[in-house]
Amino acid sequence: MSALDYLADTSLPAGIRTHIENHLVRLARAKDQLTLSLATERAEGYVEGVESARALTPATVEALYVAVDNAATARQLELEL
């Protein structure tokens, strides 16, 4: 599953979609656990900022958190192999 597939059913404004997609791609390309951890923190921080700005509905914000978590978990499993 591609990192971007986690957002397939989520409607987002273009600017937010571009930024969160970039974060998901960084998660998918993390070369080691440290890089993955840093990318995860940055992605979660971005979502927190969007949430604080009340730019999206609570359900959409939750979908972004889930997408970040799913992408990070998938990459962590790949790195453990």
Block mean pLDDT (10 aa), the chain, length 81 = 82 97 98 98 99 97 97 97 87
Q: What is the predicted pLDDT for the residue at 4?
A: 79
User: What are the phi and psi torsion angles at 45 (to 5°)?
Assistant: -65, -40
Q: What is the predicted pLDDT for the residue at 57?
A: 97
Cα 1 to the center of its chain, rounded Å: 14
The domain segmentation of the chain, as residue ranges, is 28-81
Flag whether the pTM goes above 0.85.
yes
Cα 36 to the center of its chain, rounded Å: 11
Q: What is the predicted pLDDT for the residue at 16?
A: 98
CB atoms within 10 A of CB 37: 13
The token pair at 2 is: 């591609």
Q: What is the predicted pLDDT for the residue at 6?
A: 79
Q: Comparing C-alpha atoms, which of 15, 16, 74 is closest to residue 47?
A: 16
